[in-house]
Structure 1
Amino acid sequence: MHTKVFGFAGYSGAGKTTLIEQLIPLLAADGLRVSLVKHTHHGFDIDKPGKDSWRFRKAGAQEVMLAGAQRWALMHELSNQAEPVLADLLGHMSACDVVLVEGFRSVEIPKMEVYRPSTGHAMIHPVFPNVVAVASDAAIDVPAHLPLLDLNDVPAIAGFVKRFLDIA
């Protein structure tokens, strides 16, 4: 897959989801087709107990697809299989210009660290070498090779992502 991939990583409460939510329309306004993969450490379910699709999964279906006039969704039960790696998940996605990735901090893709000192967490870039920039809501010290962007200046962050991926 030749789609450009760019990640956002940081601790819970840093603002990753809000930032990505604000980035998507800016990138789309430039004519880019944007998709997203979000990793969660918590179990999740997009299905409702008692609904047909839930009943099919509980009955043992490995995959259940819901399809309608506005969207379709495919749910795949892992059962006892290992959690899929990002590359495998990307292989299931339709063609687009850029896939934004939330989480997957240890995966070797370029990523921006989203950091708020007020959360009390340490920064992640010393541990995860694929961090190529830091976005923060405070003036903080970062190594000289890492650009520091204002977390509240979403157009500047969008510009950085486009330049970094050479899709400007």
Structure 2
Amino acid sequence: MSRPLIIQVVGYKHTGKTTMICKLIEQLRSKALRVATVKHDAHDFDIDREGTDTWRHGQAGASAVAIASPYRTAVMRSEAQPLQRGSIGEREQLERLLSLLGDVDVIVIEGYKAAGYPKILLIREPEHWRLLHELTSVCAVVYWPEAEPPPSVTGNVQPSLLLVPLADAHGSSLNRLLASVQANASKELQGNEGEA
């Protein structure tokens, strides 16, 4: 099994991350690639329903509950302590999730800003451009009309950084986004192999 391409889609709330991920999934699936996703939620959530057997297992004190059918598998695990953003525990949680996703070609991660995978950054407000300097591995930026790149960005941008207006983030531009991420991932992989 070869190592999957990992893409992060990051940005503040209501910037279009989920919509972008759905477009990327459709584009990747049109190329017959197998895609998995990971969604980071900064709040608590529950995918179980009250009264089900698995819900009852959790209510009885199980720290992890798994359910499997011929069609799907799910594992729900309670963390002993809430994980802090960017913490080692959060990074370990992400790596654990990635290892569970099985044989896929591409993994798209929504969130986990502190992780070091190639990122597509979505920007909706002019002040969001600061993320470009706060995050690592940003290889593409998709920006809303009200958040045109300021001269401080366009004058100092890395030649390899792809800037795409939101209105153009479809079709051939999606292919350019994916190519940018893939090129960035290849460079990082080569760098990591040189360290080994």
Please tell me the TM-score bracket, short chain as reference: 0.7 to 0.9
TM-score under structure 1 length normalisation: 0.86
2:51 — aligned with what?
50
What per-residue deviation string (whole Å, max 9, x for no partner) do you get for residues 13-63 of structure 1?
000011101210111110111111111101111012222111101112232
The 3-state SS of whatever aligns with 2:134 is coil
Letter in 2 for 1:140: P
Give the drift of 1:133. 1.3
The 3-state SS of whatever aligns with 1:126 is helix
Note if 1:149 corresponds to 2:164: yes
Contact 1:5 1:98 in 2 (8 A): yes
What stretches of structure 2 of length at least 5 have no aligned partner? 84-88, 186-196
Moved more, 90-99 or 153-162: 153-162
Letter in 2 for 1:2: R
Contact 2:162 2:180 in 1 (8 A): no
Q: Kindly tell me: are residues 144 and 121 of structure 1, through their superposed partners in 2, closer, same or farther at Cα, counting changes over 3 Å?
A: closer
Contact 2:121 2:141 in 1 (8 A): yes
Note if 1:128 corresponds to 2:143: no
Higher helix share: 2
1:16 — aligned with what?
17
1:160 — aligned with what?
177
Letter in 2 for 1:164: V
Q: Kindly tell me: are residues 164 and 80 of structure 1, through their superposed partners in 2, closer, same or farther at Cα, counting changes over 3 Å?
A: closer
Give the drift of 1:131. 1.1
What per-residue deviation string (whole Å, max 9, x for no partner) do you get for residues 101-141 of structure 1?
11011111110111112xx6522111113211100122323
Moved more, 12-21 or 55-64: 55-64
User: Which structure exhibits the higher relative contact order, with contacts defined as CA atoms closer than 8 Å and separated by 6 or more residues?
Assistant: 1
Letter in 1 for 2:170: V
Paired with 1:104 and 1:163, the residues of 2 have a C-alpha distance of 20
Give the drift of 1:67. 2.4
2:188 — aligned with what?
none
Contact 2:15 2:124 in 1 (8 A): yes
Note if 1:88 corresponds to 2:96: yes
Question: Which of the numbers 109, 114, 119 marks the counterpart of 1:106?
Answer: 114
Equivalent residue runs for 1:1-80 within 5 Å? 2-80=3-81
What stretches of structure 1 of length at least 5 have no aligned partner? none
The 3-state SS of whatever aligns with 1:50 is coil
% identical equivalent positions: 30
Letter in 1 for 2:177: F
Moved more, 63-72 or 45-54: 63-72
